[in-house]
Structure 1
Amino acid sequence: MDPTLTRIGEAVRLGHSGDREGARRVFTEIWAEIGGTRGDPLHRCTLAHSMADVQDDVRQELLWDERALAAAWLLTDARMAEAGLALSAAALAPSLHLNLAECHRKLGDLDRAREHLREAEATIGALGDDEYGQLIRQGLQQIADRLR
């Protein structure tokens, strides 16, 4: 497994255990090590997607989610496979757009939230009919319900 992805996973576990500040600290260290917005798109996307989840301010969450999406567009299936990931690069888009839709909804920008919801729905075909795909589909339905 990719050592940077392993470290990102360890920081994710810190956040899940309730140490959001510790997770942010580790993510910040890794972000600097990988070169920030100039780093490997897989590392940037994974880290930013995870960093967004441990933010206390929705504007910071949005910033990190936007960084994740920008990096995702640069990913290839070959890079995903090289890192040992079974997911296609395209399969990241629905989740990233889902997160962006929720951020915009929280900020009261319902037009942008709906725009990202549409983008997520347009890319949902990249997901399999597995646990991950079902989780994202449920999330999309929840956001759609909240936006009604």
Structure 2
Amino acid sequence: MPHIRIYIHLVFSTKERYPFLKTPELRAKVWKHIFENARSKGIYIDFINGYAEHCHILLSLGTEQLLSKTVQLIKGESAYWINQNKLCLQKFEWQNDYFAVSISDSNIEKVRNYIANQEEHHKIKTFAEEYDEFISRFELMAKG
């Protein structure tokens, strides 16, 4: 039996970064659903939070899990659930792209705290600024 521990900091936004998830109460409901649904599918989410137009997830991949498939399951099912439950006035969609970086054990707590403090963080910095900072800091580029 393989023993692995691969942590990923995953971030994705709503379609065109529209602030669909306007209230803390709505966000809490969506994050709770994503967390519970992921667990039911064997996806381990360590921590989840976000803001009006994006979501941060600290997750650990299992031995048979591909990042792309895991992201597809999380985003696809949650968008479907949001629309089925009419949680937004218009059709809810996540943007197709996302970014993800691996996290070392020594940085897990730092990433949890960062994700936990999204409400305060985005009083200072917009998601667009945060996004550009991530892309630059981690030298991310699209990989097909």
Q: Scaled by the length of structure 2, what TM-score is found? A: 0.32
Higher relative strand content: 2
Higher relative contact order, chain-length normalized (CA < 8 Å, sep 6+): 2
**TM superposition score normalised by structure 1:** 0.31
Q: Which has the higher helix share?
A: 1
